[in-house]
Structure 1
Amino acid sequence: MAAAGAFSLREVLDAFRGCVTERREGLLEPCLSGWWGLIRFLQSLGAVFGFISKDAVAKVQIMERHRRGEQGQHYESLQSMVEFELSRGPAELRGRPDSGCRTVLRLHRALLWLQLFLEGLRTGHRDSRTSTICTDSYNASLAKHHPWVVRKAATLAFCALPSRDAFLEVMNVGPPEQAVDMLGEAIPYIQSVYGITQELFAQHSLLDLP
């Protein structure tokens, strides 16, 4: 799947809805589809989010190569990926910048920021400052993983964000109130993927991979 085309919140909802099985396995294929949708959302907002969207594109492409590679059967789910990569030894896992676990961890951190930001848009008022919503979400998630220079640049960039209604229009699902309703549907699925990943990586001490 390519990142080209207009953002559609409905597509993101459908993708993340299919990420988690009844056994609480996190399926990578629909998760990557959901990520392409979120990347289109970031790209539709212009250069402000360029430093996040470019990194996300690179990480999703790494995971797609794993899925389509010779060991693709081990990258069907988050659980099978972790089991496979841990079986190859912690030294290799920590020494490979393109390891699936390390790559997913970077996407996982960014997903928390997007989850918090979208929730802030959903629950905010019409006159809520999107720069404040975005900055608060960033400070509670990605900021601690970025150097000071990046944090400073991001905070300054957020000051130029459009209004809340403008963000809701980008969702491409109708008037703002309809976008708010669909965010209410989509966010729990995103939270579920985040929660499963957090639990799995914590269980295997993978949350601080370099």
Structure 2
Amino acid sequence: MADGDDVNGLRKVLVTFKSCLTDNQEVLMDPYLEGWKGLVRFLNTMGAMFSFISKDAVAKIQIMENFRSGEQKENYITLQSMVGYELSNSLVDFTQPYSCPTSGCRTILRLHRALHWLQLFLEGLRTSDADSRTSVLCTDSYNASLANYHPWIIRKAASMAFYTLPTRDTFLKNMNVGTNEEAVAMLGEALPHISQVYEVTESLYAQHKLLDLP
């Protein structure tokens, strides 16, 4: 099955992240946001249980697209240029959570954390046994990533939602990329692109002490 033939476009979505990185290992904003739009479509196919993540992602994507079409759009071509511009112009507040609520650095950090959860979950699907429970895979991935930044009520709702997920085999079939073996192979081919973008972003934010922005 050719790239993009799957109903959810998941293969194409994951590979989109490959185009995010320049030769200098800078993360291009536009393909990053396009990749996230595809991930939102994928999340929506997983049911209303994931709306608490997909709706938040949609809001964050819109904020960043506004930056990319605004007066300072040239400063938001890459994540690196965004960080440099916002820090040098005091557009990031390290102490108050809502003094600069729409700063690009803060907005991308929220997407970055959610990307880590999806990366861990999809990698879990790829490497787990046929009888593994997706509810457990998803819960473990969530607890290792997004749960650290969500209040108790959101964590509780998420944990309950994850238990409604189908089996691993059913989940792979629902990806509509052929056999389960083909779905696993697709994940193995595409996930390294997301992982690389995540690592470059993580390093950039760590360098500028942005990982714990309120």
Question: Which bracket does the TM-score occupy, shorter chain normalised?
Answer: over 0.9
2:184 to 172, 180, 188: 180
Point out where structure 2 has 5 or more consecutive residues left out of the alignment: 1-6, 94-98
Aligned length: 203
Instruction: Give the share of equivalent positions with the same residue, in percent.
Output: 63
- Distance in 1 (CA, whole Å) between partners of 2:162 and 2:53 is 12
SS in 2 for 1:207: coil
Look up the match of 1:107.
Answer: 111
Aligned to 1:93: 92
Contact 1:24–1:196 (CA<8 Å) still a contact in 2? yes
Give the 4+ runs in structure 1 shifted more than 4 A. none
SS in 2 for 1:149: helix
- C-alpha displacement at 1:166, in angstroms? 2.4
- Paired residue for 2:152? 148
The answer to whether the aligner puts 1:124 opposite 2:123 as a matched pair is: no
Q: CA deviation at 1:172?
A: 2.9
TM-score (structure 1 length as normaliser): 0.93
Given the two structures, how large is their TM-score scaled by the length of structure 2?
0.92
Please provide the CA RMSD for this pair: 1.1
Q: Which residue of 2 aligns with 1:83?
A: 84
- Match for 1:47: what amino acid? A
| Displacement after TM superposition at 1:93 (Å) | 1.4
Q: Give the whole-Å Cα distance in 1 for the aligned partners of 2:81 and 2:176.
A: 35
* Contact in 2 for aligned 1:17/1:189 (Cα 8 Å): yes
Of residues 166, 169, 173, the one that matches 1:165 is 169
Structure 1 residue 36: deviation in Å?
A: 0.8
User: Which segment is superposed worse, 43-52 or 158-167?
Assistant: 158-167
8 Å Cα contact 2:11/2:187 also seen in 1: no
Q: What amino acid does structure 1 have at the position aligned with 2:25?
A: R
Gaps in structure 1 of 5+ consecutive residues: 1-5
Q: C-alpha displacement at 1:14, in angstroms?
A: 2.9
Deviations 1:165-195, CA, capped at 9 Å, x for gaps: 2222332322211111110011111011110
Partner of 1:203: 207
